[in-house]
Amino acid sequence: MKKPLFVKKTNLQELGRVQDRITFIYLEHAKLNRQDSAIKVIDSHGIVYIPVAIVSVLMLGPGVDVTHRAMELMGDSGVSVVWVGEQGVRQYAHGRALNHSSRYLMAQAKLVSNTRSRLAVARKMYQMRFGDEDISKLSMQELRGKEGARIRRTYQNESKRTGVAWSRREYKVDDFNASSPINQALTSAHQALYGLCYSVVVALGASPGLGFVHTGHDLSFIYDFADLYKAEISIPIAFDVVKKYGKSDISDHTRHAMREKFKETKLLERMVSDLKFLFEIDDSQEVSVQNLWDDKNGLQKFGVQYKEFPEEDDSNDSSNYD
């Protein structure tokens, strides 16, 4: 009988921090297996080894076969695995997060569950887009209208800058090729941005679904978060790609251009900082990964034996909640 193969689980301290990782890698029509601490990728061009500890997100397109051992490695290493459609333009499923602490999730849930704090975070997100302009007295309706006008101006300005014709944003979810080249490029650019936003959000342990502006969708907060960067990153890239390549391989060229832009602007590191700012996360505070909740005494230590009757010194009566 063949002896089972055991591989030492990766220690969290051995992994690269979220802000230091490669943004994303897209794969299609390939077989994925595990080779030590790397993903072995086999396709028609040969074999490539990807060290998963330095990757943020793997986008797996059509024709990808992945083994259980490869998925185990990606899960242990905190790689966000996203199953996507052809050329990465649709998202179908995803993997697990890197962060074992729930402090981002708890902070997010607390902020989104109260009308005042939710409005405060939404204002923060709009303020990040409008710079020094005072928007403190605007309602959410007024803020949405102001943001809509800003994005329309962005499209018009990029059209003038590049000479690429622009009329309006339109696309068919089920037919990527039915839209104009610029709309195809915008779809591809936004999807790449969504993938990176998703990777940061889940890697830090926040919820993709608890949005402050968008709501009701399992990716509501991803859309909130991505809107912070579209006018600066994905929209200009889309217009640049169409200007340079026309109708030729738009999704490929857009994805490559986005990846270079992510690297050039160090967007991954910036996203981590922005998320901490929005949720008011203080890194100087010591965080315990797991505690027990108590309605009167606050957080209690996990993994110790608690006496059933604290007022009695009877070591025989104890309950272990470990």
162 token code pair = 């590049």
Helix ranges (H only) for 91-174 are: 103-112, 115-130, 140-162
Name residues whose C-beta falls within 8 Å of residue 215's C-beta, 6 or more positions apart in sequence: none
Cα–Cα distance measured from residue 187 to residue 226, given in angstroms and rounded to the nearest whole number: 13
Report the DSSP pairing between strands 38-43 and 80-84. unpaired
Per the CB < 8 A criterion, the answer to whether 210 and 222 are in contact is no
Name residues whose C-beta falls within 8 Å of residue 220's C-beta, 6 or more positions apart in sequence: 208, 209, 210, 211, 214
Is 217 annotated as contributing to ligand binding?
no
Q: Report the run of H or E that residue 56 belongs to, with start and end.
A: strand 55-60
Per the CB < 8 A criterion, the answer to whether 187 and 255 are in contact is no
CA 158 to chain CA centroid, nearest Å? 26
259 token code pair = 């990846």
Per the CB < 8 A criterion, the answer to whether 199 and 56 are in contact is yes
Q: Report the run of H or E that residue 75 belongs to, with start and end.
A: helix 68-76
- Mind giving me the DSSP string for 223-238? HHHHTTTIIIIIHHHH
285 C-beta neighbours (distance < 10 Å), count = 7
C-alpha pair distances (Å), 20 with each of 13, 244, 271, 286:
14, 30, 12, 22
316 C-beta neighbours (distance < 10 Å), count = 6
Is 280 annotated as contributing to ligand binding?
no
Is 214 annotated as contributing to ligand binding?
yes
Q: Which residues are annotated as a binding site?
A: 147, 214, 227
Q: Which residues are annotated as a binding site for Mn(2+)?
A: 147, 214, 227
